Amino acid sequence: MEAKATAKHLRISPIKVKRVIDLIKGKNLKEAKDILEFTSNNRASHYVKKVVNSAAANAENNHNMNLDSLYVFHASANQGKMMRRYKAGSMGRANPIIHRTTHITVVLKERE
């Protein structure tokens, strides 16, 4: 049985989130939470930690799973919509500014 949680349209680059997600793939739930608590990239780890906690709550409440036997089965950070803005450039031009967004997905599974 799997428990899944998703967060969409987060205003952070997917590359920054992928660095944090690679640290927790395949780890036990408690170990993953500890890693996220003490990771130096606070903004990305904060978002990932919220999704992991949501997946753990889904596992406990919706699927009656034991929290001690859960591990991070799958975690991904995919690119969401890009917000395009323009800034005035030299000689009457417009320079594009691209704000990237991220979709984070975490799947927890029970170890057998």
pTM for the model stands at 0.90
Model confidence pLDDT, tens digit, residues 59-110: 999 999 999 999 999 999 999 999 999 999 999 999 999 999 999 999 999 9
Q: What is the pLDDT of residue 40?
A: 82
Q: Which of 39, 60, 57 lies closest to 48 in space, CA to CA?
A: 39
What distances in angstroms separate CA 73 from CA 32, 38, 86, one per listed residue? 11, 21, 40
How far is Cα 26 from Cα 47, in angstroms, rounded to an integer? Answer: 18
**The one-letter amino acid at 46:** H
Neighbours of 77 (CB within 10 A): 27
The alpha carbon of residue 95 and the mean position of all alpha carbons in its chain are separated, in whole angstroms, by 30
Query: Taking 90 as the threshold, does the pLDDT of residue 112 lie above it?
Result: no
Q: Where residue 93 sits, what CATH number does that domain have?
A: 3.90.470.10
Model confidence pLDDT, tens digit, residues 29-65: 999 999 999 988 789 999 999 999 999 999 999 999 9
For the chain, the domain total comes to 1
- pLDDT category, 26, cuts 50, 70, 90? very high
Q: For residue 89, give the 3-state DSSP assignment.
A: coil
Domain holding 30, by residue range, is 2-110
Q: What is the pLDDT of residue 33?
A: 95
Percent of the chain with pLDDT over 90: 94
Neighbours of 106 (CB within 10 A): 29
